[in-house]
Each structure stands twice: as C-alpha cells, then as structure tokens.
Amino acid sequence: MYPGTYARTTPDKPAVIMSGSGRTLTYRELDENSTRLARLLHEAGLRRGDGIALLSDNNLHALEVYWAALRSGLYVTAVNHHLSADEIAYIVNDCGARALIVSAAVGRLAEAVVAPTPGVEVRLAFDGPVVGHGDYEEALKGVSADPLDDEPAGADMLYSSGTTGRPKGVRAPLPDRRINEEGDTLVAVFAAIYGFDEDTVYLSPAPVYHAAPLRFISLVHRTGGTAVIMERFDPEAALRAVEEHGITHSQWVPTMFVRALKLPEEVRGRYDLTSLKVAIHAAAPCPVEVKRAMIEWWGPILYEYYAATEANGVTLIDSAQWLDKPGSVGRAALGVIRICDDEGTELPPRSVGTVYFEREEVPFRYHGDENKTREAQHPVHETWSTTGDVGYVDEDGFLFLTDRKAYMIISGGVNIYPQEVEDALALHPKVDDVAVIGLPDEDLGEQVKAVVQAASGVETGPGLERELIDFVRERIAHYKAPRSVDFVAELPRTPTGKLLKRVVKARYETAG
C-alpha cells in the first residue's frame, strides 16, 4: 500500500495534520504533489538509484518530498536542520544529491549551502522564497499529475549521528518491487503488532528528519491512517493534541516522558487521554523508574522497540512483558540476537558483550566507508552486524542493553556502564538532565563523572553534589557512583532526545 491507494478510496481524508497550525494535507494532495515532484525530477534526468536531499522543519511538504522519492526509485536523505551549513553541505555532497528541496523556515541555512554543493542540479524551496532556489509550489503546477509509467520503490538514506567524526550515510539496497506492490519490512514488522490501519490517528512529536518519525509517518500512509505532526515538542501541547485529535497511536523518546512526568499534577490530569491505545518509545534507553511511572499513569499501553537507523535488527516488548522483566528492550522480531566478546566468540545468557543481529545478509552499508561497514560486521560471521551497543540476553531471549561500547568506563579494572548511573539520577527531583562519562584517573585508569543540568531554581554546589552521589549509592553498587558531579546550564541533546555524549567528553578533553 502507498498514498495512491487511499487517494482513490478516501481522497479527502487527512494524511497529515500539523498539530499547532492545523494545516492539513489530504491523501489526494499527498498523492498528486508527490507524483508531480517525481515527474519533475524524472524530467530533470534523475533515475533509479539517484539521490535527493530534504532540508526542512516539520512541514506538510516534507512528506510530499519523501513520497516522491519512494515512488520513483530514488534515495531520499532528510538532513538535520540544526547542523551548521558546513555539516549540511557535507551530507548533501556525500549522499550525492542531485536535487535539494528546502523549507523557507530554514532559508538562511539553505542559502549558505548553495555554493558548497555544486553537484546539486535542482533546487526548490516551499512556503516562501529562498535565494538560489526555485519556487516549489509554482514548479509543481507546471507538471502533470499523471504517475510515471514505471514507479520503482525508492528508499531513505539517512545519516547516523555516530560517536566520532563525520556522520555516515546508511545505504540499503533499493527494494526490487514497484511502489504499489507488497513486501515492505516496516509494514510486515510493525503494522500488525501495533495495529496500524485506516482508523489510526498517529501523533509524531519529533523532527521528521530522524529515522523513526519519518518511517513511522510513512507507515501511517501505507496503512491509510492520519499523522498528526507537532511543529516542535512541548509536553503539555502533546497531551492537548492527544485529546483534541483523538490520538490512537504515538511515538516518544524517554526525555519526552521525563518532561511530561515533571508537569504539575493538575496539568497532567487536565487532558483526556483515553483515546490513546498504543504509546511506542525508542531511540534512547528509558530509565526503569521513568517507564514504570509512565505505565502507572497511562496504563499498560507502552510498547518499546530497539532498532537503529541501519535497520539491521529489531526487538519488541509490551508493557506486561516489561513489568515481568524491567529494563529489557524485548525479544528479536527481526534477526537473531547474538552476544559476543571482543574476539567475536558468542557468549552464554547473562554475559555482557557486543550486540549483533544475524540476518540472511547485512541489510546496509555505510556510504563511502567500507572500513566502517566491515567494522560493523562480525569478524567471522559475515551476516552478523552491530551498531556498537553492549548488552546481554537472559535465558528467555530478552535483551537488556547496558550502554554503547564507546562509552564504557573501565575503573580499577571493572567495567562500568554510564547508562546505569544516568538511569539512577534521571528522576531525582533536582535533576533535569544528566550525562555520565569516564575521565582519566592516575590511580584507577578512569573515574566516573556526572555532568548534571539541575532543575530550574535549584541551587547547585557541594551540597547538591553530595546529595546526588549519595542518591546513586543508595540505588546501585558504590563503585559505580560518580566520584564527582559538575553542573552545567544545559546538556547537548539532539531534538530527537539523543544525548551527544561525545560533545560532553570533548569539553573535558579540550579543558584538559
């Protein structure tokens, strides 16, 4: 299924509603505009396997661009508009984009990207003029809305945030099918499990350039539902959107849960959330206390999946399973989990090691970086791949993540996973955000350092430092507790909630 299916059966049904402005895109409009753009790009010479890039805020037209690529055999790269112009130009050049479609809301960035991206042949801007770009709306008016004679399925090519260096494009082989043919993995894995269908009203509070929001909105369009997209996340506005739109499905990241839980009780109880049947979360580890509090508030409607932009494997877990195994991210639904030591030897249950997924073949490559691609593969089994996460499985096959391998702290010869310490501090009433890192220590090799963004109005200093260290020591082993706590005005996170720990560490390396 794809938007054209529903453009024929329910043409006036909203495919997308912007939560703040109320702007709506019907299935007929989504189908026609994506068809027109696909034809425009085809007439400009783009063919199957070529790439286009999208630089946009959360906007209706972003989904037209996405579907134009998916219905014409192109790769589409949605670019984070919070990056600098140099970083954006790098991605546009690296992905080989022959066309760049931008939103006027990020017009200054788009203008700055023109000169350093000489390989781009087609530049269009929607919702207003942008220097160096044609008018998107006017350009589409001059193109036929008749579908191309051949509509091969395209794919997204998104960039991993990475832990060091430049981000890398995750490039999967193009599907060997037409856009209207069955066989999409996203539908096969998630639609039936979470109940996506024509009655779904899905709330997406995260930026559409990120893999999960983009792909799940497309899942809504593949199954005939309506996607309600927030222009930007605000916890109370999200609750209001659930009530106003009768949201049935939603997707969140743990920092959104934390912010919602810290709303005053009278605000949390102000909105009717009874329409909400499925609340999915992913993208970052969720502290046990946070998830337990959300299940107590919303009921057993929380569903978690563990996956990556690379889509090399998926695990799933529902609320009942999680309450039985707190902290788990579930059992494999795509691929077979393999836990291995540094030499690649598979480990028994409850042994911590690198998380690999076994598939018939590795479903991705890092564009332009064969070394990184090889590093993601098991040293012996070529069909096992990893994104660098560390964890263990129990006797029932449930996966528990401990952290990313790159962030493990070795103190006094003992492995300490920062995530466990961060989870212990996450719901302390005086903590808004926290990052735990390892710093060099002459005696121990590394010591545990907590970097804390205190809640508004909280006095920081030695007293709060001692309080937080004691708080951790009451909950986990003493040797894992921070040796010291620093306080900062704000911690660096992506808009999708991922902590940029490499940025935090770099500040200390620079200071040192």
Distance between CA atoms of 12 and 203, rounded to whole angstroms? 20
* Domain 3-10+23-187+202-222 indexed as CATH 3.40.50.12780: yes
Crossing angle of helices 288-298 and 418-426, in 10° steps, is: 40
Give residue 269's region: left, alpha or beta (phi > 0; psi -120 to 50): alpha
Distance between CA atoms of 18 and 60, rounded to whole angstroms? 7
Class of domain 415-511: alpha beta
Mean pLDDT of 327-350: 95
Determine phi and psi for 216, rounding to 5 degrees.
Answer: -75, -35
Q: Tell me, what's the pLDDT at 163?
A: 42
Distance between CA atoms of 116 and 92, rounded to whole angstroms? 9
Distance between CA atoms of 62 and 37, rounded to whole angstroms? 12
Three-state DSSP class for 101?
strand
pLDDT at 126 over 50: yes
Q: Tell me, rounded to whole angstroms, the distance of Cα 468 from its chain centroid.
A: 30
pLDDT at 283 over 80: no
Q: Tell me, what's the pLDDT at 165?
A: 56
* Structure tokens belonging to residue 75: 């790769």
What is the Cα Rg of the chain in Å? Answer: 23
Q: Which residue has the tokens 């200071």?
A: 511
Question: For residue 150, how many other CB atoms are within 10 A of its CB?
Answer: 11
Question: For residue 104, how many other CB atoms are within 10 A of its CB?
Answer: 18
> Which parts of 251-351 fold into alpha helices (H)?
254-261, 265-268, 288-298, 319-324
The residue extents of the domains of the chain are: 3-10+23-187+202-222, 224-278+303-404, 415-511
Q: Tell me, what's the pLDDT at 164?
A: 45
Three-state DSSP class for 433?
strand
* Predicted confidence band of residue 505 (pLDDT cuts 50, 70, 90): confident
Percent residues over pLDDT 70 in the chain: 97
* Predicted confidence band of residue 495 (pLDDT cuts 50, 70, 90): low
Summarised one tens digit per residue, pLDDT across range 260-273 is 998 999 999 999 99
What's the DSSP call for residue 347? P
* Predicted confidence band of residue 511 (pLDDT cuts 50, 70, 90): low
Distance between CA atoms of 197 and 484, rounded to whole angstroms? 50
Helix H or strand E encompassing 34: helix 27-43
The contacts of residue 501 (CB under 8 Å, 6+ apart) are 163, 407, 418, 435, 437
Q: Where are the beta strands (DSSP E) in 407-483?
A: 409-411, 414-416, 431-441, 445-454
Q: Tell me, what's the pLDDT at 45?
A: 98
The one-letter amino acid at 265 = E
Distance between CA atoms of 441 and 361, rounded to whole angstroms? 42
Residues in the chain, total = 512
Concatenated DSSP letters of 110-147: HHHHHTT-TT--EEEEESS--TT-EEHHHHHHTS--SP
Poorest-pLDDT segment among 149-153, 193-197, 413-417: 413-417
Summarised one tens digit per residue, pLDDT across range 43-66 is 999 999 999 999 999 999 999 999
Mean pLDDT of 434-459: 89
The one-letter amino acid at 440 = P
End-to-end CA distance of the chain: 55
Helix H or strand E encompassing 77: strand 75-79
Q: What is the CATH number of domain 224-278+303-404?
A: 3.40.50.12780
Evaluate whether 3-10+23-187+202-222 and 224-278+303-404 have a shared fold: yes
